[in-house]
Structure 1
Amino acid sequence: ARHPTVRLSVVVVVDDGYGCVLLTRRTPHMRTFPRCWVCPGGAVDDGENLFAAGAREVLEETGLTVPTSDMEMLCLFESVYPMQTDHILQAGGIKSHSLIVFFKVTCPKEQLSKLRLQQAETDLCAWVPLDRLRAMHLGEEEPSTAESIPGYRSITQAWDGNLSARSHYDMANLVPTDVDAAQLRGIYPNPVGEGIGQAILFAIGLLVGAVEY
């Protein structure tokens, strides 16, 4: 089978200035990593500056404008999908292969109220406390007593994949919802079919001192 080209991508770990980072859940219809919790990111366009690509992806996926001058490079990560050998065999090969450049940035306070979701790709989001993520990452949080995390869900009907009927970049308004800790716990895919992407967990692990780079 022909292997996919390695794609250069960027991911931005956006914090709110109050100890939380923004995670979004990919919609179930996504070709790769469906229902996976991630940070904003995507492919770098030809000739595009990495910092500009990161800021563009944040804006396109969340409606937030973050200054490139405040962005700091965090790490590099190589990602493939599917991740497990048996899943690769079932799929007939690797569907995507990316070299990801991670950045971190604090969202300007005046931007926080502008949070939206790119409805073609994401359907849930939450500002998750870093201390909760550290506890989950290190297995220090007792699942039976874990509290849900305040989040937001799209109030727009689920995107049906028809680009002629709806723009890929349409932004959905949000309403408050609770995100069960079980949805975020563990590496994707976890027992409930969600979880945080391995690359995202690695980058966040660096931020909270749970892993070394």
Structure 2
Amino acid sequence: MPDALTYGLGPDWVPGPDGVPFRRAARVIVVDEADRVLLVRGHDAGEVTRSWWFTVGGGLDDGEDVRAGAAREVFEETGLVVAPDDLVGPVLTRSALFDFARVTCRQDEEFFLARVSGAHDFSDDGWTELERDVLDEVRWWDLDALDAAVADGTVVYPTPLPELVRTLLGGWDGTTPHLDESSV
């Protein structure tokens, strides 16, 4: 059976017990002082007309602490510096099964919240070759505009993101709900 590298997914993907490429990931809901959420738009390497918006983050290195990985991913994907101790949460865990590059993948994620200044020029200096190929833009979203875009068919992951962000803007209550989005 081919491994995840065969499909161009990267070294953080390993075959799970069922043979499906699997990885653990850290994601960060980045919010600015205007309560806008920072999202990345990417497209499917195997089906370029399919795109979606998602939170900053990605796979954890082998043995990497999830908070350290989350902070590293924020820096690599945006150029923003966020200290692991400044991350709130985890505010959500998510299990996802999805198709990417014509491969079914499984990912377990921990989400954190970070407050930053919106006055920042984004950098793609830390992007991998795959990210340079499939990531299309990074931008701040007003939550009302995000709701309207979702109502018009824009795909966002995790799917309840606008509602989750609104809840977190009122302060994190210390709970970590789990979201199962494991249907392809």
Whether the TM-score (by the shorter chain) exceeds 0.5 is yes
> Structure 1 CA distance, aligned partners of 2:66 and 2:111?
10
1:116 equivalent in alignment to 2:123: yes
Q: Which residue of 1 aligns with 2:39?
A: 23
Aligned-pair Cα RMSD in Å = 3.2
The alpha-carbon deviation at position 129 of structure 1 amounts to 1.4
The alpha-carbon deviation at position 106 of structure 1 amounts to 0.8
Alpha-carbon distance change, 186 to 76 in structure 1, aligned in 2, over 3 angstroms = farther
> Structure 1 CA distance, aligned partners of 2:136 and 2:72?
19
The alpha-carbon deviation at position 104 of structure 1 amounts to 0.7
Larger radius of gyration: 1
Q: Which residue of 1 aligns with 2:13?
A: none
1:55 equivalent in alignment to 2:85: no
The alignment's TM-score, normalised by the length of structure 1, stands at 0.58
Q: Which residue of 2 aligns with 1:129?
A: 142
The alpha-carbon deviation at position 32 of structure 1 amounts to 10
Alpha-carbon distance change, 57 to 32 in structure 1, aligned in 2, over 3 angstroms = farther
> Structure 2 CA distance, aligned partners of 1:203 and 1:19?
13
The amino acid that maps onto 1:80 is L
Percent of aligned positions with the same letter in both sequences?
25
SS in 1 for 2:160: helix
SS in 2 for 1:37: strand
The one of the two structures with greater contact order (alpha-carbon pairs below 8 A, sep at least 6) is 2
Deviations 1:5-64 (A, max 9, x none): 432111111011211010111145368995211111111111111111011111111111
Matches within 5 A, 1:135-146: 136=147, 141=148
SS in 1 for 2:120: helix
1:75 equivalent in alignment to 2:75: no
Contact 2:21 2:104 in 1 (8 A): no
SS in 2 for 1:47: coil
Instruction: Could you tell me which runs of 5 or more consecutive residues in structure 1 were left unpaired when the two chains were aligned.
Output: 84-90, 142-180
Q: Which residue of 2 aligns with 1:100?
A: 109
Instruction: Could you tell me which runs of 5 or more consecutive residues in structure 2 were left unpaired when the two chains were aligned.
Output: 2-17, 169-175, 178-184
Contact 1:26 1:37 in 2 (8 A): yes
Alpha-carbon distance change, 52 to 121 in structure 1, aligned in 2, over 3 angstroms = farther
Contact 2:122 2:138 in 1 (8 A): no
